[in-house]
Amino acid sequence: MTDRKTIIAGNWKMNKLRAEAGELVEAVVQGIKGLPAESPEVIIFPPYTSLDVLAAATKGSKINFGAQNLDNHDSGAYTGEVSAKMLVDVGCKYVLIGHSERRQYYGETNQSVPLKVKAALDNGLVPVVCVGELLDERENELTDPVVKRQVGAALMGLTQEEIKKVVLAYEPVWAIGTGKVCESAEAARVIGLIRSSLKQFLEDKEIANQIPILYGGSMNAKNAEELLSKDEIDGGLIGGASLKADEFLTIIRAAAKRPRLAAKA
């Protein structure tokens, strides 16, 4: 059994108009009522246009919300970008950084990720930092060095206290939006590797055992319980399945069983 925080995070990507966002989050708010005390923390990452909708709809609930990206600058001539201060101003607690789609389509790199992580931390946001390998990297047995390199880059220059505040998410790029899922044993192995990599940056090695590491990559209502039964997997970063309240709630309920499942492992 683990005492790390269990987190189920929904990444809506570029989906849901404001009215749709309100309906969906309200269904989730109602759906988590009555769950046991050990229920996971629930986070939703909507598009920027619905951040204020989430702020209103989640008020007084157990749900937190965040943004899908940020710029590392506080302000200035950066057309189209949004700063950490702006996200805090609208009520965000979390922010995604380094998602594979940002890396693949918008030039996110191991050089830009640490700048964004530091900007988030400096402004009181919790960064959820994504790492993971491409299909050709996996096929060429490069998963481990690629993931270790991404973790090292993301934490570059951070203090021990700052690293303690980071959440990590392993998302094998080949399993995102494809319906393919990394086998639970392999997902747990890579997450274990990530935790071992963390210890290389920490004087207090025990901190590495406290940092939540999520699995992202086509987790859904059917496979969530199996994935979450692995002690190393501290929750999920959910894409498509977070766009339907019933599926997302099924995953949340599976995560609520995690302490008991881990105890049996």
Catalytic positions are 99, 171
H/E element, 203: none
* C-alpha to C-alpha distances, 253 to 25, 38, 110, 134, 248, nearest whole angstrom: 16, 11, 35, 30, 9
* Beta carbons of 121 and 70 less than 8 angstroms apart: no
> Rounded distance, CA 9 to CA 214, Å?
9
> Rounded distance, CA 119 to CA 125, Å?
8
DSSP string for 56-111 = HHTTTSSEEEEES--BSSSSSS-TT--BHHHHHHHT--EEEES-HHHHHHS---TT
Residue with tokens 């008991």: 260
N-to-C CA span, the chain: 8
Residues 6+ apart with CB under 8 A from 249: 27, 28, 31, 32
Cα torsion for 41, 31, 236, 169, to the nearest 10°? -50
